[in-house]
Amino acid sequence: MSAIAEAIDAGTLPGRVWMYANYHCNLACTYCLTESAPGVPKRALEPEEMVRVAREAAELGYRDIGITGGEPFLLRHLPKTLAAVSEYLPTLVLTNGTLFNETRLAELVPLAERPVALQISLDSPDPDVNDEMRGPDNFAKVIDAIPRLRDLGVTVRLATTGEPGRLTEDDHARLCALHRGLGVPDEDHIVRPIVRRGRAADAGLGQDFAPEQIPAELCISVDGAFWSPFGPTVRGGELDTDLLISRTTAPLSRPANLLLRLVQGRPPGDDAAIGIR
Amino acid sequence: MTSIPVVGVVAAASPLVAIMTPATAPLLTRNAFADGQPDPITAVLAQVPELFDVAMPFIGATLGPSFVPHRVKEIVILRTSSLLECEYCVGAHTVAAVDAGLLHDELRSLRAELSWADVFADPAERALIAWIDAIARGRGPVDATTANAMTSHWEDAAVVEITVLIGTTMMLNRLCTGLALPLGAETRKRLAAEGFGA
């Protein structure tokens, strides 16, 4: 058993490896950590690289894969890559849920049999409030996509991001009624705070977190390996490096062991308590 | 002794790459930024944290205190840096050599502003400087006279460490020169106070 596997078993290290599939996006959300938008550089991981990371993560003892962006489904290879990645580990993909036309839905059919789940963002039960943060017609597209994905047999989760207290009890109740009505159970709905990085920092949104407050999930991007998916953020067009672990990502054991060393050197924290997993 | 170019101190240039700061320093490098902005070499090596992680202990062990006397180490570093025409290292280590007790004429001769053969009288130090010149400027085996003089005055472990120190200094010389690392204001002030530089 690798030292990584032992640390995951012991709860010292989280069991998920994240990948930034890309940085470009069809949306430009107000709180985006990576300043993603249609015109930004793609900075995409190659599909072979994503499969390599998944294979090595499985060999090291990691338990699942998270894929985020940017909007990963802008990458036309993604459905096939997800099929290959999920051969090694269960895979969660974060998506804005707005690109699932008939063609893309057909490409997702093979994933219904795979351990792949899609986590779609929806920030308010009110279309106007949601769309103000996430773009025109976002609410309608998401509400349309979720049942169609579920009809294919694809597992769908829902993520709600916002400032603490933004959602009233009534908002929360209506949001939960909405996702239950769409077939998404409570355990697959997460509410998470905005982290003050990237565009959120420019807009004065979100909360500051010290590294020891952020789960030590290994995150691979085209720029290197980072402490958590909150690491490889972008501000003013420049990559943030404060949570950079190493520029080298292959073999995966190299950044994984450096991260383990960093985690073992930090005092016990309350990273699970801030609810940004 | 062959003459070598005199290296002056020039105005601060813009570095070729971003100098990491306490705000941008990656996790593995953060201790080096705990007390504020470190020297430019440390701050650029932090661009590659996994390299920084192994390079800094090595550089510290090589250039830092050891069984080789401080004075000897500064002779090696300043002479090598002068041969490699590294303005940053010549400036920084002229100040360091002053702190190590080297005399003004010794500094000037190591900086090739005087003939070292006219300044250094100690046979061991003369053998040392000839060895530095041979290692840092040579492209093949060291001539037997220079090699024999070195090994007759210095024990084997010192020859090894000094030679590694020359090589490490050359690596840093090229790093600083290639990336146009700027000499700090405090160092410039010290150099001026000691009668060196602009």
Question: A85-118, pLDDT tens digit by residue?
Answer: 999 999 999 999 999 999 999 999 999 989 999 9
pLDDT band at B9 (very low <50, low <70, confident <90, very high): very low
Of the partner residues B23, B25, B49, the one whose CB lies closest to the CB of residue A245: B49
Query: Which is higher by pLDDT, B2 or A22?
Result: A22
Q: Count CB-CB contacts under 10 A for residue A12.
A: 15
Contact B174, B84 (CB under 8 A): yes
CB contact under 8 A, B49 and A247: yes
Chain A: nearest CA to B107, how far in angstroms?
A: 40
Question: Quick one: pLDDT at residue A165?
Answer: 79
Question: Quick one: pLDDT at residue B10?
Answer: 44
Indicate whether A277 pLDDT > 50.
Answer: no
Indicate whether A225 pLDDT > 50.
Answer: yes
CB contact under 8 A, B27 and A244: yes
Question: Quick one: pLDDT at residue B7?
Answer: 44
CB contact under 8 A, B28 and A247: no
Number of helices (H), then strands (E), belonging to chain A: the values are 9, 11
Question: Quick one: pLDDT at residue A211?
Answer: 81
pLDDT band at B12 (very low <50, low <70, confident <90, very high): low
pLDDT band at A153 (very low <50, low <70, confident <90, very high): very high
Angle in degrees, 0-180, between the axes of helices B87-99 and B156-178, rounded to the nearest 10: 130
CB contact under 8 A, B26 and A258: no
pLDDT band at A267 (very low <50, low <70, confident <90, very high): low
Query: Which is higher by pLDDT, B6 or B163?
Result: B163
Angle value at C-alpha A214, between A154 and A75, nearest 5 degrees? 40
* Nearest residue on chain B to A235, alpha-carbon basis: B24
Report which of B81, B83, B87, B86 is spatially closest to residue B10, judged by C-alpha positions.
B87
Q: Any alpha helices (H) in B17-141, and if so which ranges?
A: 40-45, 49-63, 70-83, 87-99, 104-110, 116-119, 123-137
Q: Considering only A1-5, A53-57, A224-228, B144-148, which range has the smallest mean pLDDT?
A: A1-5
Contact A45, A85 (CB under 8 A): no
CA–chain centroid gap for A38, Å, is 18
Q: Which two tokens stand for residue A269?
A: 């924290």
CB contact under 8 A, A246 and B25: no
Q: What percent of chain A has pLDDT over 70?
A: 96
Residues of B in contact with A262 (CB under 8 A): 27-28
- Write down the pTM of the prediction: 0.87
Which chain B residues touch A if contact means CB-CB below 8 Å? 20, 23-28, 47-50, 53
Q: Which of residues 217-236 of A touch B (CB under 8 A)?
A: 227
Q: How far apart are CA A257 and CA A16, in angstroms?
A: 14
DSSP letter string over A128-181? Answer: HHHHHHH-TTHHHHHHHHHHHHHHHT-EEEEEEEE-TT-S-HHHHHHHHHHHHH
Chain B: nearest CA to A243, how far in angstroms?
A: 6
B51-110: per-residue pLDDT in tens?
A: 999 999 999 999 999 999 999 999 999 999 999 999 999 999 999 999 999 999 999 999
Q: What is the mean pLDDT of residues B171-191?
A: 95
Q: What is the mean pLDDT of residues B173-177?
A: 98
Indicate whether B46 pLDDT > 70.
Answer: yes
Question: Quick one: pLDDT at residue A266?
Answer: 59
Q: Coil, strand or helix: which one is A1? A: coil
CB-based contact, A243 to chain B, within 8 Å: yes
Q: What is the mean pLDDT of residues B134-147?
A: 96
pLDDT band at B128 (very low <50, low <70, confident <90, very high): very high
Q: How far apart are CA A184 and CA A146, in angstroms?
A: 9
φ and ψ of A16, to 5 deg:
-105, 140
Contact A80, A33 (CB under 8 A): no
Indicate whether A173 pLDDT > 80.
Answer: yes
Range B164-190 burial, b when 16+ CB lie within 10 A, else e:
ebbebbbebbebbbebebbbbeebbeb
Residues of B in contact with A247 (CB under 8 A): 47-50
Query: Which is higher by pLDDT, A168 or B144?
Result: B144
Q: Count CB-CB contacts under 10 A for residue A183.
A: 13
Residues of B in contact with A254 (CB under 8 A): 50
Q: What is the mean pLDDT of residues A121-128?
A: 92
Chain A: nearest CA to B96, how far in angstroms?
A: 32
DSSP 8-state code for residue B94: H
Q: Considering only A82-91, A229-238, B6-15, B20-29, which range has the smallest mean pLDDT?
A: B6-15
Question: Quick one: pLDDT at residue B13?
Answer: 62
Residues of A in contact with B47 (CB under 8 A): 241, 247
Chain A: nearest CA to B178, how far in angstroms?
A: 21
Looking from the CA of A110 toward its CB, the CA atoms found within 13 Å total: 10
CB-based contact, A240 to chain B, within 8 Å: yes
